[in-house]
Structure formats: structure tokens, C-alpha cells
Amino acid sequence: MNGMDDVEGHGLPSEAKQFNKISAIDILEQHSSLRIDPSEIKIDGRPHAKGGQADVTSATLQRATMEQETRVAVKKLRYDSETDNDKFSKSFAYEVDILAGLSHPNIIKLLGFLENFEIGNACMVFTWEDNGNVQEFLARKACDIPERISLIKDVTDGVEYLHTRQPPICHGDLKSLNILVNSLHRAIITDFGSARALRRKRERKATKPKPNTDIRGASPQINVSVTGNQLTLTGPSWSVRWASPEVVLGDDPDLPSDMWAVGWVVWEIITDKVPFHELCNEVAVTMAVIERTNPSDIGNNAQMLQIVSLCSLVKDCLAYEPASRPTASKCSASVKWMPSVAPTDRTKSSAESRSAALLLNMGYMRYSQNDHEAATALFNKALTSARRTQDTLSAAAAQNWLGEVHLAQHRYSEAESSFSHARDTYTGLGDALGRMRALDGLGGVYHAQLLLDKAEESFMEAESICIQIGDDVARATVLNGIGAVRLMQCRYSEAKECYAQALAIYGRAGNDLGRANSLSGLGSVAHKQRRYKEAEKTFEKAEGICVRIGNEMGRANVLNGVAA
């Protein structure tokens, strides 16, 4: 659906009336500072990409205010003898109007526009991204799961920005082809031809087929008609592989339909497969969407299973009913805590080694899956890499993570040594947060050996650092440690208060693993106080979270608490 479909009254009558009262020229005059003189643009060659309504060409931009020319992307709306001039001009002005108000690292930046509606010329100018779209980028680069999650974080952050604007902005056509990768290897959401501002919150009913519904998009129409219990589809589709059930059945795109598309974008970035990759006929795809038959390998795909929490998020986004899908903010908060690092320039044919930062994140993935042997190997590789490149900060992080693995394996002497080395390195670097993490680890080592005075001393120093630097989530981690000490000291009310504070902080931050750890602590308090039903329910909640996010380490800790 392009911008003019919205302006013509599809779902937003009040906005349509308001927009139609103002001419396209008047709208563009509000953004006159972005107008580019045609003499300042030199088109390089043939279109680089073709969309449903426009072509994209590379060009050079040389403005009087610029010291040197810049390579840019020019999006030119398609115009022919059958084009409605009024719709053409207003569609262009609508897209410019939306883009001009956006400013976010993960949203394409509009550099300017030029138009001559009398001859059907309307172009928008954007920064040029050599890496192409995310699908093209991943085909060339050797990207491990944490690097792919970094791109996913960029996408969810960008969508959250759009959805939390006032009024919220629905993108309307999210897919891997509309996500570019910039020179810093960050994902950038582009193509706002289907976007619109949602000035009214619509009430949704259960999704069901609508008779004789006309589905408009960036390509020709699909017609859906219902006769008795038979569903008939005719005509090609627009981006149908990413279209939600309610959009396929005739509704306008809305925030929940964007979230359906986000689920598929996550799937694409992790698996290198388009939605419904096993179906080559798009009418078959449309039928699959309507009949609720999502691909069976979502839950057992090898790549997706490496990060179960992401797999769960995809399933939530692909809920059939719009109201059951997570918000963009919830998605962004969930992905925030997953292991990630920006992709490097490693290609699939190069022998370039993985960076220490990447190895640390890969090690954390294995650690959370309770695979201590693999985690140790990766953390040691990270330590070797960091020392070779004189990356002292990553070396300290590797030492700290080795301490965590040793602690989980009850190798307390080695754990204390690793944490102590990390603490001393962080202290020398002046890294307060790193020092806090090492102290928290040492507190855990002392607690496990029932050296409660030393444990309390380490945890208290760590908490003091958290308060000084204003890091609430780090403080929640330490509060769980203090709660564990108070539990061992039979100071149950104080232990409960620590765990409850940590739970509240983790809840606000969207940190599911932290929530599980706090709930496990509260379950232990209830168990010690012989409130067995309450303890059982609390442990079940904690275990449920760990199962959902695929954190076997956390689940093992919960089960240990139940056994105690």
C-alpha cells in the first residue's frame, strides 16, 4: 500500500481530509530547506534497484555548501501516461513529509528532494550504502549469530522509534529488501512509500476473511473472495511473504502487522531464508498465511535453536491475532539482552580470524546453554586474541567470563584467580562497571564456599559502584547476590526485599534472565519459610522463563533451588 492509498481514505478518514486540503506543493514548501536543484545531481547510470512504485539509482551530489561531491541514492517515483497526477504528487509529498520528521541511527536519512510535477519528475535523495540490503550483505559476509543479532537489534530499535512517535508511524512494508547495511555495518530501515502516521487507535476484531476484498500494495492487486467455505485468490501479490493475515484479508497495515513482518525479518537475518521459502508460488504463500500454516521449521531450525529466546520472539511476532503480538518496545527490550557484536568485514572466503568481542559473545551463548567445555574454549580463544591485539579490555572480559565458567563447575580456586585478574585489570583501566562485575563474581565464589563475610564485602563494594555510576540493571545483579547471602544468614525478610527489588528492576528493563534469577531467589525464601505452595509457583515461573529463552544454565540453577 503506498502513501496515497492512505491519503485517499483507506482507514484514516480524518487524516485524509486534513491532508487533501493542502496541496502537494504546500506540503513540500514546509520542507523547502531540503529542496535540491537539479543541477546539483548527476545520475551515474541505470537503475540500481526497482521497487513497486519507484526506481533507485546511484548519483553524485555536489551542493554549494559541500566541500566535495558525495555519492547518493536517488529514488525516482515511476510515472507514465496512465498515472493520476494528483495522486502522484500527493503520494510523493506524503512520503517526503514523513521522512523529513525522522531522525534515528537506524532509519534512512532524507538528504533532500527535487520535483517537477508538470513533467512527472519526483525524486528523493538519500545517503548511498555500499553494502546494499541486509540480504545481500549476509550473502557476502561471514556472520556468526551474535553479529546477526546486532543487525536485528538495529531493526527492532528502528521500528520501536517509529512506533513510539507521536503519532505512531506504521512502516507498512518491512522486509529484508527494505533494510540496508551502512559502512559501520548497522542496519538502516528504508523505503517509506507505504508508511503512514496513525492518528487514531483502531479497535481490531478477530482476523477473518472478508468477502470481495481488494488488497492493494506496491504491485498489482490480489482479490480475495469468499463463497460459502471456499476461499479464492486471484492476481499477484505485493510483499505477500511478509504480509500479516489481517493485511492479506484486506485490512490496512498497522503496528501489529509491522510486528508480524519484524518476526520474518528476524527469521531472514538468522537463517538466510525468506518467509515460506519452501513455497515458490505466492498464492500458495497467501493460502498458508490465511490457513495459519507457518513453516514447520521455525521451532527446529538449526540456526534459530542456537538462540532459543530469539526463536520464541519470532513465534510471538507471528501470532495469528494482531493483539497477541508483542509491541516494538517489548521486542527491542528482549533483543537488547541477547549476545551481539557488530559484524566485521570477514567474507566467507577469507581466513580472517574472529575478533575477541565476537568470541566473547559466542562463548556467552555456550555458557548460557550450560555447555561449559565449549564456552571455556571460546573464552580462552578470546583471551588469546585480545592479548595478541593488545585489547586489554576484552582480555579482562575474557578473564571474568572464565571465572563464571569455573564457578559454575565448582572450581573455586580457578574462579577466584580469574575474577581477581579481571578486577585488577579493570581497576587499572578505570573501568568501574567492569570492576563491579568482577567483584560480583568474587562474591559468588565466596558465597558458594560459605565465606559469607567475604561474600558480603564483595557484593557491598559492587553495589556501591553501581550506585555511583547509576546502573540499575547492574545493581539488580548484585542485589540477587546480597539476597543469596541474606538467605544463608537466615535473614529472610532482608533476602526477600533484595530479590524483590532486583525483580522490579529487571522487569522494567525487560531482562528475562535476571527476572528468572530473582524469582528463583524468592522461591528459595518462600521454601525456607515453609510457604511451599508459594515457593512451587515461584520456581515454576522462573523455570518457565528459562525454558522460553533457552537458558539452560539459569534453569539448572532454578532446579537446584527446587531440590534444596
Whether residue 16 is contained in a domain is answered as no
Note the helical H segments in 12-79: 13-20, 24-29
Write out residues in the chain with pLDDT < 50, as ranges: 1-17, 211-221, 223-238, 563
226 DSSP β-pair partners: 231
- With a CB cutoff of 8 Å and minimum separation 6, the contacts of 530 are none
- Cα 34 to chain centroid distance, Å, stands at 30
Same domain membership, residue 403 and residue 332: no
Same domain membership, residue 134 and residue 81: no
Structure confidence at residue 159 (pLDDT): 99
What CATH number is associated with residue 299?
1.10.510.10
* End-to-end Cα spacing for the chain: 58
Same domain membership, residue 559 and residue 411: yes
Element (H or E) spanning 180, and its range? strand 179-181
State the total domains in the chain.
3
Ramachandran region, residue 357 (left: φ > 0; alpha: ψ -120 to 50; beta: rest): alpha
Nearest to 318 by CA among 357, 271, 272, 260: 260
What CATH number is associated with residue 481?
1.25.40.10
Assess contact for 152 and 310: CB atoms under 8 A: yes
Whether residue 411 is contained in a domain is answered as yes
Whether residue 208 is contained in a domain is answered as no
Assess contact for 232 and 286: CB atoms under 8 A: no
How many C-beta atoms lie closer than 10 Å to residue 319's C-beta? 17
Grid cell digits, residue 22: 493542502
Assess contact for 161 and 225: CB atoms under 8 A: no
3-state secondary structure of 244: coil
Structure confidence at residue 1 (pLDDT): 37
Assess contact for 57 and 79: CB atoms under 8 A: no
Whether residue 13 is contained in a domain is answered as no
Structural domain containing residue 245: 129-197+240-342
Domain boundary among 128, 151, 166: 128
- Cα 549 to chain centroid distance, Å, stands at 15
Structure confidence at residue 238 (pLDDT): 46
Same domain membership, residue 320 and residue 187: yes
CA 562/CA 258 separation, integer angstroms: 41
Domain boundary among 85, 112, 128: 128
Assess contact for 338 and 149: CB atoms under 8 A: yes
Burial 341-353 (b: 16+ CB within 10 A, else e): bbbbebeeeeeee
Whether residue 43 is contained in a domain is answered as yes
Ramachandran region, residue 191 (left: φ > 0; alpha: ψ -120 to 50; beta: rest): left
Grid cell digits, residue 473: 540493571
What CATH number is associated with residue 78?
3.30.200.20
179 DSSP β-pair partners: 189
Domain boundary among 128, 149, 175: 128
Amino acid letter for position 256: P
Whether residue 264 is contained in a domain is answered as yes
Same domain membership, residue 384 and residue 308: no
Same domain membership, residue 157 and residue 28: no
Structure confidence at residue 211 (pLDDT): 42
Whether residue 491 is contained in a domain is answered as yes
Same domain membership, residue 148 and residue 288: yes
Same domain membership, residue 117 and residue 262: no
Same domain membership, residue 121 and residue 135: no
Same domain membership, residue 488 and residue 403: yes
Structure confidence at residue 207 (pLDDT): 55
Whether residue 6 is contained in a domain is answered as no
Assess contact for 42 and 58: CB atoms under 8 A: no
Question: Counting every residue, how long is the chain?
Answer: 564
Same domain membership, residue 367 and residue 473: yes
3-state helix, strand, coil split of the chain in percent (to 5) is 55, 10, 30
Same domain membership, residue 322 and residue 309: yes
